[in-house]
A and B are shown apart, each in its own frame.
Chain A
Amino acid sequence: MVETEPRVAGERTSFADELARRRYLESTGRRRFVRFWVDFVRQRPLGTAGAILIIVMLLAAAFANVIAPYDPTAINFPDLLKPPSPQHLLGADNFGRDVFSRVVFGSRTALLVGFSASLVGCTCGLVLGVVGAYLGGRTDQIIQRLMDVLLSFPLIVIAIAVVAALGTGEDKIANVIAAITVPIVPRVARVVRSSALSVVQMPYIEATRSVGAGAIRIMFRHVAPNVFAPYLIMLTAFLGQAILLEASLSFLGLGVFEPTPSWGLMLRGAGMQFLEQAPWLAIAPGVAISMAVFGFNLFGDSLRDALDPRLRTG
């Protein structure tokens, strides 16, 4: 985002001039940012729909205690398996807990796991990809082989292994996040590396090197910002995937534990057991998972088209 106007040689800039210049640059930067999103909303209805879903989910998570009419963990046996009604918008589960409140609070778990896992995973992938591409040679080979090892583990298997190794429990949400982070790393590292390989060849990298910049400075100040588009795209794509994975793991009993409200967990227990008797128990959390992932996928897809039309969908 650095835009420099051609300056007349020898011109002396006063402090005020400098300030004005900076303010101008900032305003254009901001204007460009706004312009980007205005265009995005105008040209990409699907992406905008996705963004709206994401915003709804963020609001639900932020104001869960205001929106939810009941405590999501409050057990109330008289309401056992009550069908949807004005008292319980989405019915009540086998402990008489309000399903709507649990779905609303479940968005916190989903977002927490989704954001942390994809942020950490993608950032590790970014670092490994950039380091591999820039240093090349043996370092690159070692990183690539390690990533191959992680890649050839089926996604769910590696998640199961990490959760099994670190243990599960009520307050062990960090382990679930770690389990989901691991499979993300090699996938991101691969994509980032291939983008970084072409960046490394650029003359400006050569120039930076000739000025005497160190390897670390070049990698993180010059190479990394130029592979930011694929990074951002992967980040939104894996956000949805991480939410799905959390649901799958919780469904298998390897993720979040009761009484934490989690969508996958809601499907696991009562959702399966009372499928015929109380189908709302299975429908509501499933719809919540689908809408959340749907939102991130739609948004990520359009963001990819907007940022980098050359990248192909996988």
Chain B
Amino acid sequence: MRRYIVGRLLLMIPTLIGVAILTFVIMRAVPGDIVALRYAGSSVPQEVIDQERHILGLDKPMWAQFVDWMTSISHLDLGQSLWTGHSVVEEVQVRMPLSIELAILATLFAVALAIPLGVVAAVKQDSLVDYAIRVFSIGGLAMPSFWIGIMMVLITLTLWGWAPPVVFTPLFDDPVANLAGLILPAVAVGYRYSAVSMRMTRSTVLEVLREDYVRTARAKGLRETIVVVRHALRNALLPVVTVVSLEFAFLIGGLVVTEQVFNLNGIGKLLVDAVAHRDYPLIQALVLLLASVFVLVNFVVDLVYVVLDPRIRYS
């Protein structure tokens, strides 16, 4: 087991280095750098531009820039945003609470919707209820979450004249205002992601319901609810846990469009802005951060498997 853990951790390193190189190269291949963008349209002499590039280190050869970046990362220094001048850590710190809170709310909503519906659909397989639930969930997959968001704003606006607040309030300043701002995006995103977990719940519960131990539980005369919840669902949850955690990892940085619709200043928006500004240190740090979260969550999920299911052994 220890060997497995060490091996997996070591395997992350080449993946993350690959991510770092790819981000670095792609961003440098994008035409225009921050200096060019900043002075676009104005008649600034070429010397000033060259000087600015020199200060930012953008005139060095690409490999030298990469070595610089890697050296500073190894000192745990992520550098500064070229656009705002603040340190990258600071920029991320401001947005992280919002993104994490939104991801948690959306995941909670998704799970609360997905597990009961998935179980009901499995228990009533091929009935009208099953079809209705499946159509509902495939619908969630089909509608872009940003559009669900727009429609929800439209509905609350026309029915109650209420629109989510434009300014974000931190959770601890005013919890009600905070939730008012996040509830619609959380529901919009949660509905979409509940679809995947719901389908997973349905198919694994269906599989588990055919197992011998479920028949045994029924034969003992247990009530059907207990059989389903305690014997079937508990054993079916494992793959659902995987799907939910991977979605969670994705939600932290992946809500680019939803953040745009609800005017939320989260990690996704930060990334889009950083790409638009060619803010190399910020882009690189963000992509590396998101990739690390993804890789780590993947790894933790595999470990959780062992805890939840003693039959699984890694070697």
Contacts and interface: CB of A to CB of B under 8 A. Distances in A.
Chains A and B come from one and the same complex: yes
A25 interface: no
A145 interface: yes
Interface string B116-150: 00000000000000010011001101111011001
A145 B157 contact: no
Contacts of B22: 149, 153
A179 to B, nearest CB: 11
B198 to A, nearest CB: 10
Interface residues of B, number: 53
Given A252-B257, A313-B199, A149 B19 contact: yes
- 7 A-B pairs with least C-beta separation: A149-B18, A294-B142, A293-B142, A286-B147, A152-B291, A313-B199, A290-B143
Given A152-B291, A154-B294, 12 more contacts: A46-B134, A145-B14, A152-B294, A156-B268, A157-B287, A160-B271, A251-B146, A251-B257, A264-B144, A275-B150, A282-B151, A290-B142
Contacts of A290: 139, 142-144, 147
A155 interface: yes
B160 to A, nearest CB: 13
B222 interface: no
Contacts of A314: 196, 199-200, 243
Contacts of A298: 138
A246 to B, nearest CB: 10
B271 A157 contact: yes
Given A154-B253, A161-B26, A252-B257, A271 B150 contact: yes
12 contacts: A149-B15, A153-B22, A154-B290, A164-B275, A165-B30, A167-B31, A275-B157, A283-B154, A286-B147, A286-B150, A291-B142, A313-B202
A272 B155 CA distance: 14
B12 to A, nearest CB: 9
Contacts of A145: 14-15, 18
Interface in A15-63: 45-46
Contacts of B138: 294, 297-298, 301
Interface string A244-271: 1001100110000000000010010001
Contacts of B27: 161
Contacts of A294: 138-139, 142
Contacts, number: 140
A276 B19 CA distance: 43
B260 interface: yes
A206 interface: no
A161 B30 CA distance: 8
A292 B144 CA distance: 11
Contacts of A151: 294
Nearest to A154: B254
Nearest to A267: B147
A230 to B, nearest CB: 16
Contacts of B200: 312-314
Nearest to B148: A286
Nearest to B261: A272
A148 B254 CA distance: 17
A208 to B, nearest CB: 32
Contact of B151 (A162, A167, A286): A286
B199 A152 contact: no
B29 A165 contact: yes
A272 B14 CA distance: 43
A104 B96 CA distance: 41
A242 to B, nearest CB: 13
Interface string A303-314: 000000000111
A279 interface: yes
A157 B261 CA distance: 17
A289 interface: yes
Interface in B128-187: 131, 134-135, 138-139, 141-144, 146-147, 150-151, 153-154, 157-158
Interface string B236-260: 0001000100000010011011001
A240 interface: yes
A97 to B, nearest CB: 20
A153 B256 contact: no
Contacts of A216: none
B142 A297 contact: yes
B58 interface: no
A48 B166 CA distance: 44
Contacts of B199: 313-314
A162 B158 CA distance: 39
A266 B151 CA distance: 14
Contacts of A312: 200, 203-204, 239
B64 interface: no
